[in-house]
C-alpha cells in the first residue's frame, strides 16, 4: 500500500491537498509541540479516507527527528510499504531529516507549490542514489469549503448561519452571494466560529484557492471594523487565503493605506442600492474581475 509521510507546519493545506488528490491508504503526520493543534485538526479531517498515524518529534534536532521517523516506520510496520514523502511543511530540520530517511529507503518525494494562484506538485525519485526530478502537475480541484474550514478551525467548530438578520447588512451579503455564485465553485454566507470571535460574511472556493469577504454597506464602509475582523480571521485561516473588504462608498486614504500595508483588497461597489438583494451589472462585473483575477489570474 502507499503511505504518505507528511510534515506538519503552521499551514494545513500543504498536507491536506496531496492526501485528498492521491488518496493514499495510510498517512503518517509528523508534528511538533507547536503544531500539535494543526495535527489534531488534520487527523480528524483525514481519518475518514485514510489510516492516519501520528509522530510527535523535535522541531530542530535533525538526528533525533531522523531516528524517530525511522523507528516509527518500523514500529508500525510501514517501512516495507510504498513510501512517499511530502516535504512541503514542517521546519527545515524536519525536511532534512525526512529527506535522509527517504534516501535510505529510496522512496519517492513530492513538494507542493501553493504560494501562487495555482497548486502545483513537483515529484522526485532517487536514481542510483541521486535525486532526480521526475514530473510536475497542476492539482485539479480536490478539496471543499468544508475541508478548508475543518482543517483551519476544527470539525464542528464552525457553522454557516446565512445572511445577517440585523440592520441592512444581510441584503448586501445576499447580493454579493448572487453576484459571486456563478463564478466560483463553492460559496458560504455568514460563517461563525470561535464563539463569535470569527464572523465571516462570505467565504468562497475557486479550484483550490480560497477567499474571505467582509461586507459593509453605506457609512459602515467608512469605518475600519471590517478590516479588524478580516485580520482576526486571517490568523486562523492561513497565509494563502485571499481577503476582500467590500464596501459601497468611495475608498478613502485610510482604505488605500490598508491595501499598501496588508494583503486585504478593498473593493468598492458604488452603485449598490441599500436594501437590494442584487448588484448592478457594473458592480457585478467589477466584483468578479477583482475576485477571479486574484484567485485564478
CATH at residue 176: 3.40.1350.10
End-to-end CA separation in angstroms for the chain: 38
Domain check: are 107 and 245 in the same one?
no
pTM: 0.92
Following DSSP, what letter does each residue of 12-32 receive, concatenated?
SHHHHHHHHHH--SEEEEEE-
> Which letter does DSSP use for residue 59 in this model?
S
Domain check: are 113 and 53 in the same one?
yes
Domain check: are 151 and 259 in the same one?
yes
Q: How far is CA 122 from the centre of its chain?
A: 19
Q: Can you give the pLDDT of all 297 residues of the chain as single tens digits?
A: 999 999 999 999 999 999 999 999 999 999 999 999 999 999 999 998 899 999 999 999 999 999 999 999 999 999 889 999 999 999 999 999 999 999 999 999 999 997 667 899 999 999 988 999 999 999 999 999 999 999 999 998 999 999 987 766 799 999 999 999 999 999 999 999 988 889 999 999 999 999 999 999 888 887 878 888 898 899 999 888 999 999 999 888 877 777 777 788 999 999 999 989 999 999 999 999 999 999 986
Q: Which domain holds residue 132?
A: 2-138
**Domain of residue 8, CATH code:** 3.40.50.10770
> Which letter does DSSP use for residue 272 in this model?
P
Total domain count for the chain?
2
Domain check: are 129 and 177 in the same one?
no
Cα 175 from Cα 180, distance rounded (Å): 9
Amino acid at each position: 500500500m502507499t503511505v504518505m509521510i507528511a510534515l506538519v507546519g503552521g499551514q494545513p493545506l500543504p498536507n491536506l491537498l496531496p492526501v485528498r488528490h492521491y488518496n493514499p491508504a495510510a498517512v503518517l503526520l509528523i508534528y511538533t509541540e507547536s503544531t500539535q493543534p494543526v495535527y489534531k485538526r488534520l487527523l480528524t479531517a483525514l481519518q475518514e479516507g485514510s489510516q492516519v498515524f501520528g509522530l510527535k518529534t523535535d522541531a530542530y534536532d535533525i538526528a533525533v527527528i531522523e531516528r524517530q521517523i525511522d523507528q516509527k516506520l518500523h514500529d508500525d510496520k510501514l517501512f516495507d510499504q510504498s513510501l512517499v514523502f511530502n516535504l512541503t511543511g514542517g521546519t527545515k530540520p524536519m525536511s532534512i531529516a525526512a529527506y535522509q530517511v527517504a534516501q535510505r529507503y529510496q522512496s519517492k518525494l513530492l513538494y507542493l507549490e501553493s504560494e501562487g494562484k495555482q497548486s502545483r506538485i513537483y515529484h522526485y525519485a532517487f536514481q542510483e542514489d541521486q535525486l532526480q526530478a521526475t514530473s510536475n502537475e497542476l492539482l485539479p480541484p480536490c478539496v471543499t469549503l468544508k475541508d478548508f474550514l475543518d482543517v483551519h478551525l476544527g470539525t464542528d467548530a464552525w457553522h454557516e448561519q446565512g445572511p445577517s438578520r440585523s440592520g441592512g447588512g444581510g441584503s448586501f451579503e445576499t447580493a454579493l452571494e448572487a453576484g459571486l455564485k456563478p463564478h466560483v465553485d463553492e460559496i458560504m454566507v455568514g460563517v461563525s466560529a470561535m464563539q463569535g470571535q470569527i464572523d465571516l460574511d462570505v467565504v468562497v472556493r475557486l479550484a483550490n484557492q480560497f477567499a474571505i469577504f467582509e461586507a459593509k454597506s453605506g457609512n459602515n464602509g467608512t469605518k475600519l471594523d471590517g478590516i479588524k475582523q478580516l485580520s482576526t480571521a486571517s490568523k486562523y485561516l492561513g497565509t494563502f487565503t485571499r481577503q476582500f473588504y467590500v464596501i459601497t462608498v468611495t475608498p478613502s486614504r485610510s482604505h488605500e493605506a490598508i491595501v499598501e500595508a496588508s494583503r486585504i483588497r478593498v473593493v468598492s461597489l458604488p452603485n449598490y442600492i441599500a436594501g437590494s438583494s442584487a448588484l448592478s451589472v457594473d458592480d457585478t462585473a467589477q466584483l468578479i474581475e477583482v475576485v477571479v483575477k486574484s484567485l485564478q489570474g
